[in-house]
Amino acid sequence: MKNLRISKTLNQFGNKISIIFIFFLFLTFTSCSKDQDIITPIIEPSVLKASSVIDSMGTGFNLGNTFDLASHSTTPETIYKIIDFYYNAGMRHIRIPVTWMEGFGGNTIANANGQINFQHARFIQLKTVIDYAIAKKMYVVLNAHHENWLSNYDGSENYNAKFRNLWQGIAEHFKTTLSF
């Protein structure tokens, strides 16, 4: 009796799979006709595709161990030389990892709630470096790096609020930065 129920269940399951497969084939062969008009979505000229941006970014480099660790100088004049070196080698984008809420012996750019201190000396240096790279028509990619508090992320509003505050602050501050 038990084997009969399993057999009926498998047959019903197999029938459903067959119907789904046939429906999929129907859609495949009827929706790909060359005679049909292709509907092209209207995209505003000001909207960029990610693939276009990535293509135009070209090759880039990582400016690590400056704004994410206290290993190297954050003095803009020191960093300009590094940017110039890679720029002259053909690199057209720069990734700048930044430790916003941790590191540097408690001397952080953002507080524990993700609110950025835009008057912080290290932020002012970071902004100066970003402005320098943009003046050279380079793309600049910022990220949050060595943020150990994120390793305990639990999906709670507490973590989400910190993260949101941090990135909304960054976006708001840089939204009027020259783009090309």
- Tell me which residues of the chain have a pLDDT lower than 70: 1-46, 104, 178-180
Q: What is the pLDDT of residue 10?
A: 39
Q: What is the pLDDT of residue 76?
A: 95
CA separation (Å) from 166 to 112, 120, 128? 10, 15, 19
Please state, for a pLDDT cut of 70, what percent of the chain lies above it.
72
Q: What is the pLDDT of residue 53?
A: 85
CA separation (Å) from 4 to 10, 11, 22? 10, 11, 27
Question: Which token pair is 111?
Answer: 């507080």
Q: What is the pLDDT of residue 107?
A: 83
Residues with Cβ within 8 Å of 80's Cβ and at least 6 positions away in sequence, in order, are 129, 132
Which stretch of DSSP H or E encloses residue 62?
A: strand 60-62
Q: What angle do CA 112, 115, 120 make, to 5 degrees?
A: 100
Length of the chain: 180
CA separation (Å) from 145 to 135, 138, 163, 168? 25, 21, 13, 17
Which stretch of DSSP H or E encloses residue 157?
A: helix 157-174
Label residues 154-179 b or e (16+ Cβ within 10 Å = b): eeeeeeeebbebbeebbeeeeeeeee
Write down the CATH superfamily of domain 50-174: Glycosidases (3.20.20.80)
Which stretch of DSSP H or E encloses residue 61?
A: strand 60-62
- 103-153 residue pLDDT tens: 767 789 999 999 999 999 999 999 999 999 999 999 999 999 888 888 888
Q: What is the pLDDT of residue 103?
A: 72
Q: What is the pLDDT of residue 149?
A: 86
